[in-house]
Amino acid sequence: MYKDFAGSVDEFIKRYPKPIQEMLKALRACIKTHAPDATESISYGMPAYKLNGPLVYFGVHAKHIGFYPTADGIKRFEQQIIKRGYAYSKGAIQFPIDEALPMDLVEAIVQYRVVSNKAKSSLRQGSGKQVKSKKSS
């Protein structure tokens, strides 16, 4: 993981060997397909997707690709993650680098996170609380 990495997602992907690049491209395409309005950036040194707040992140480690759908995403899909035998924590899933990515699971998690974030955003706006927006100068 490269905490000081500040380039683009394309540059992030190009840093890895071709087989890993293909996995990362597939992961990115899945996220962009199911969260087309999400903003893509580099955050915490890895690709990040935001839509009404953090949506998902991913990164590369020595033996796995880390997928970070926040604690909400993990909690909702915990039984499926366990059933499939993936190592996980409160906010991360480890997909072994020598296995195919579970694109159906990634798709389901991304779709859930989009709905969840939109619902939370609607609740915040409906409660009369002022929602801060970050503007670039």
Global pTM value: 0.85
Spatial CB neighbours of 129, under 8 Å, sequence gap ≥ 6:
none
Task: For residue 120, tell me if it sits in a domain.
Answer: no
Asked if residue 132 belongs to a domain, the reply is: no
Residue 88 lies in a domain: yes
Range of the domain at 46: 9-109
Look at residue 123 and tell me whether its pLDDT is greater than 80. no
Tally of structural domains, the chain: 1
What count of Cα atoms within 13 Å lies in the side-chain half-sphere of residue 27?
28
Q: Is residue 78, in this structure, part of any structural domain at all?
A: yes
The answer to the question of residue 64 being in a domain is: yes
Q: Is residue 35 part of a domain?
A: yes
User: Counting runs of H as helices and runs of E as strands, what totals does the chain give?
Assistant: 4, 6
Domain assignment present for residue 43? The answer is yes
For position 128, what pLDDT does the model report?
52
Q: What pLDDT band is residue 7 in, cutting at 50, 70 and 90?
A: confident
81-118: pLDDT as tens digits: 999 999 999 999 999 999 999 999 999 999 999 999 99
Residue 131 has pLDDT above 50, yes or no: no
Q: What is the pLDDT of residue 2?
A: 43
In tens, the pLDDT along 46-88 reads 999 999 999 999 999 999 999 999 999 999 999 999 999 999 9
DSSP 5: -
What pLDDT was estimated at residue 4? 53
Give the CATH number of the domain where residue 80 resides. Answer: 3.90.1150.200
- The pLDDT score that the predictor gives to residue 134 is 46
